[in-house]
Amino acid sequence: MGDNISNAVSASELVEYFNEDYLHFCNVVNPSETNDRDAGFIWDMLSIEEGSSVLELGCGYGRITNRLAEKGARVTGLDISPTLLKKAETDAAERGIDVEYVLGDMRSLPWRDRFDAAFLWYTTFGYFDDVDNERVLQEAASSLRKGGRLLIDHANRFEFLRYTSPIYVVQRDDDLSIDLVSNDVLSDRRNIERIFVRDGRVRRTNLSFRQYGFSDFVRMLNGVGFSIVEAYGQEGGTFTSGSSSLVVVASK
């Protein structure tokens, strides 16, 4: 099935979407205990050890990156949003940890054979068309040393199609973040219109991501040099059609 390239997200659209309004609601969407749990899960699934070199692609405001650094990893975070990176750097300074934050595009990475592990968390993979999405995987593979591991947390399209409401609302005090969601079954993309109602103003942004299945990941990851590709559900359990997410772990 061909990808609907017109729905692919541009770099400027990503910067517009992941803005200060997005940050305003982040602690409601992902409270501290969720971030602690996610960081612990990633640490275990990637077999990270103290001193391991770890790359997060699409690190956002550092909610995972900074916690891995606190656990003793040597962490680099890359994101395309200056607003989110500034928040990540501020949080790292407040925690007294050293994290390398880089403003950049995950389709073109400056590192080769540097990291022990890399990951894309919270449906950070799939924004682009098929060619560029596979380029992200190629760049991730090139950034890893031999034996390195890559983790991808991706939406389970079966769960989304069967049970997901088309409207999500997040409230912080009197402010609202409203997602209007649709699934394009011809392009296998999930499209989100996000409406912010804040300080008496209404602002709209849009995001779309490609929904891949496990067989797609096996094909793509084998194609860029990963020899072992495994599937897990939430919390590392068995992946089923009812799992809330698909967690893919690949070894180079």
The 10s digit of each residue's pLDDT in 174-199 is 999 999 999 898 999 999 999 999 99
Query: The pTM is what?
Result: 0.95
| Cβ proximity of 59 and 77 under 8 Å | yes
Q: What is the pLDDT of residue 234?
A: 85
As a whole number of angstroms, the distance between CA 152 and CA 195 comes to 27
**Which amino acid, 247?**
V
Domain that holds residue 133: 5-158+213-251
User: What 3-state class would DSSP assign to 150?
Assistant: strand
What are 1-34's pLDDT values in tens digits?
334 445 899 999 999 999 999 999 999 999 999 9
Q: What pLDDT does 160 receive?
A: 76
Q: Are residues 100 and 121 in contact, defined by beta-carbon separation less than 8 angstroms?
A: no
Instruction: Encode pLDDT of 79-132 as tens digits.
Output: 999 999 999 999 999 999 999 999 999 999 999 999 999 999 999 999 999 999
- H runs (alpha helix) in 164-224: 214-223
Q: Report if residue 208 sits inside a domain.
A: no
Q: How many domains does the chain have?
A: 1
Strand segments, DSSP code E, in 143-200 are 144-155, 167-172, 175-184, 189-198
pLDDT of residue 164: 61
Sign of torsion over alpha carbons 100, 106, 110, 114: positive
212 with 128: CB under 8 angstroms? Answer: no
b or e along 225-234 (b: 16 or more beta carbons within 10 Å of the residue's beta carbon)?
Answer: ebeebebbbe
**Three-state secondary-structure class, residue 202:** strand
pLDDT for the residue numbered 1: 34
Find the helix or strand (DSSP H, E) in which 38 lies. helix 32-45
Q: Considering the domain boundaries, does residue 167 fall inside one?
A: no
In a domain, 39, yes or no: yes
- Does any domain span residue 10? yes
Distance between CA atoms of 45 and 61, rounded to whole angstroms?
22
Strand partners, 153: 247
pLDDT more than 90, % of the chain? 91
Residue 138 lies in a domain: yes
Residues sharing a CB contact under 8 Å with residue 175, sequence separation 6 or more, in sequence order: 24, 25, 196, 197, 198, 199
- Whether residue 189 is contained in a domain is answered as no
Coil, helix or strand at residue 153: strand
**168 assigned to some structural domain:** no
* Radius of gyration, alpha carbons of the chain: 17
The CATH number linked to 219 is 3.40.50.150
Q: How far apart are CA 226 and CA 218, in angstroms?
A: 9
Band of residue 163 on the pLDDT scale cut at 50, 70, 90: low
Q: Is 84 helix (H, G, I), strand (E, B) or coil?
A: helix
Question: Does residue 69 sit within a domain?
Answer: yes
